């Protein structure tokens, strides 16, 4: 039987939990997973008790309590994360590409292209999912990647999105106006911390609310504690590139 000590550790109220998975995404040790539609602490030794998951639960189902539990084992937690990375490529029962982690070569569909599409510009997409809230921080396509963070509207506005911006990059998308900006910031920071992303490009529409995506990325870099080259691209509402340039260090570490 494992030795137990009196220490702080998370407690999950399953009656309040709605299984949204926000806490599981935030837990850097992978100690929380969704099992049977509820968040569960899968092993006490994986939980550091620091409570990074607390603020992510919209239902208030997670608290920190002091009780006898296994000692936090950072080595075991690291091995557990590696196992999660290995399992992230396993197929899921649902056919929706947005909930199945998939990595592939651009244009590789496994069958001949229909004649009507052969003359079209080929897709540069290399993976699923792409929506930021659905992308696992340990997804294999994020490892040492050049990451494109795009506002939802950009691919609709900019006709050369695939060939000019997406080619050779992993991509995540989101809306800084309609989605939870604080959640996106923390999710991106976790991705940057765990994946070793080597460069970032953030692309948004020229309207002020969409520029919030740049701020989200800047704060995520700062929170991750890493130095990552950042490039910004602004697209006009009529689909033209308004500006494209590096964002210097002093611009991205502002409080």
- Per-residue pLDDT tens over the stretch 204-236: 999 988 999 999 999 999 998 899 999 999 999
| Number of domains composing the chain | 2
Tell whether the model's pLDDT for residue 142 goes beyond 90.
Answer: yes
Do 106 and 81 lie in one domain? The reply is: no
Residue 118's pLDDT band, with cuts at 50, 70 and 90, is low
Do 186 and 70 lie in one domain? The reply is: no
| Of the candidates 150, 140, 131, the residue with the CA atom closest to the CA atom of residue 195 | 140
Residue 109's pLDDT band, with cuts at 50, 70 and 90, is very low
Tell whether the model's pLDDT for residue 157 goes beyond 60.
Answer: yes
User: Which of 30, 64, 87 is where one domain is finished?
Assistant: 87
In this structure, is residue 92 part of a structural domain? no
For tokens 């997670």, what's the residue? Answer: 62
In this structure, is residue 59 part of a structural domain? yes
| Total Cβ atoms within 10 A of residue 238 | 9
Tens digit of each residue's pLDDT (9 = 90 or more) over 190-206 = 899 888 899 999 999 99
> At CB < 8 A and 24+ separation, what contacts does 15-18 make?
15/61, 16/59, 16/60, 16/61, 17/57, 17/59, 17/61, 18/58, 18/59, 18/61
State the residue range of the domain holding 72. Answer: 4-87
Structure tokens at 137: 């921080």
Do 136 and 240 lie in one domain? The reply is: yes
Cα(204)–Cα(210) distance, rounded to whole angstroms?
Answer: 6
In this structure, is residue 132 part of a structural domain? yes
Do 109 and 69 lie in one domain? The reply is: no
pLDDT of residue 85: 67
**Average pLDDT value for the chain:** 83
Residue 63's pLDDT band, with cuts at 50, 70 and 90, is very high
């Amino acid at each position: 039987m494992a030795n137990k000590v009196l220490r702080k550790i998370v407690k999950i109220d399953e009656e309040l939990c709605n299984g949204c998975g926000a806490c599981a995404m935030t837990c850097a040790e992978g100690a929380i997973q969704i099992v049977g539609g509820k968040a569960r602490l899968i092993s006490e030794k994986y939980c550091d008790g620091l409570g990074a998951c607390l603020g992510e639960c919209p239902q208030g189902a997670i608290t920190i309590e002091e009780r006898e539990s296994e000692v936090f084992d950072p080595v075991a937690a690291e091995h557990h994360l590696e196992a999660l990375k290995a399992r992230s490529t396993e197929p899921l029962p649902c056919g929706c590409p947005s909930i199945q982690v998939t990595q592939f070569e651009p244009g590789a569909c496994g069958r001949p292209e229909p004649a009507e599409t052969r003359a079209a510009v080929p897709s540069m997409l290399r993976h699923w999912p792409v929506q930021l809230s659905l992308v696992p921080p340990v997804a294999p396509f994020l490892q040492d990647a050049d990451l494109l963070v795009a506002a939802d509207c950009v691919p609709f506005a900019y006709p050369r999105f695939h060939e000019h911006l997406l080619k050779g990059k992993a991509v995540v998308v989101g809306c800084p106006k309609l989605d939870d900006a604080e959640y996106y910031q923390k999710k991106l920071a976790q991705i940057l911390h765990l994946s070793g992303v080597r460069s970032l490009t953030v692309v948004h529409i020229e309207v002020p609310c969409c520029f919030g995506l740049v701020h989200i990325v800047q704060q995520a870099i700062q929170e991750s504690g890493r130095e990552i080259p950042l490039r910004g691209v602004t697209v006009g509402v009529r689909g033209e590139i308004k500006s494209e340039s590096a964002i210097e260090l002093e611009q991205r570490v502002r409080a």
